[in-house]
Amino acid sequence: MAAQTGPEQVTQVSSMPVPPTHYIKLYSDEAVKKGTAPRPPPPIQDTYSMFGVTINNDDAIIQTLESQGIKKLLPSKEIDRKKELRKLNHSILLNFLDLIEILIKCPESSKREEKIEDINLLFIHMHHLINEFRPHQARETLRVMLMVQKRRRVQFTTRFKEQLDKVKGIIQEALESLPTREEDMDVDKDEKVDKDKIGKDGKDGTSEKGTCSSIDRVMCGIVDEMDYKT
């Protein structure tokens, strides 16, 4: 963010980016639809500036203390970072107490500057060890995100299967309630026989032949034979 003030028009450049509201206005829904939203910046090829420090694109994300010209207090071999962080924290507290004692007894002593440098060096080492945890933190964050996505998909799949089973049950019940083909053929045959009988009798089916079944005719024949013999 730059501003020009005064007759000499001195340019003031802020080291911090403009507020996010500025980007929100640039990338509004209307601007995106119209295609007027600024395009993303191209990838950085060589060097870039971050917090006033020029960084080469080929440099390691976590640089060693020696490459930055800082005296290394930690051993070069594999170390227990948690244990070393506790040691650094304890050393910072002790040096801070020593600094307070120096300020009380002899504020003008040269040891004051030495203690401040020691505390500064200890904080740099602590910050460096914390930065070495960043790749692990990134992997753990990604793992948690994937686990959350997996859990959501499993829940969605389970609910989908439950609804699918319900739909299958409803369809099965509907299919079972439908009449079978044999029943349809029997019904059609009975209707056809009834129509034929009505046509022969010339009535609405109230005649004896039209309403009498084969079993009734057999029983009537047996009764007639019994009457004839008697």
Res. 183: pLDDT tops 80: no
Q: Where is pLDDT greater, at 151 or 57?
A: 151
Handedness of CA 6, 7, 9, 10 (dihedral sign): negative
Q: Which amino acid is at 159?
A: R
More confidently predicted of 112 and 203: 112
Give the pLDDT confidence score for residue 218 in this predicted structure: 65
Show Cβ contacts of residue 187 under 8 Å, excluding neighbours closer than 6 positions.
179
Evaluate whether 112 touches 99 at the Cβ level (below 8 Å).
yes
In this predicted structure, the answer to whether residue 100 has a pLDDT above a threshold of 70 is: yes
Q: Name the range with the highest mean pLDDT among 36-45, 54-63, 139-148, 190-199.
A: 139-148
Yes or no: say if 204 and 198 are a contact pair by the CB < 8 Å rule. Answer: yes
pLDDT tens by residue, 164-182: 999 999 888 888 887 766 6
Contacts of 4 (CB under 8 A, 6+ apart): 10, 11, 12
Q: How confident is the model at residue 204 (pLDDT cuts 50, 70, 90)?
A: very low
C-beta separation of 115 from 98 below 8 A: yes
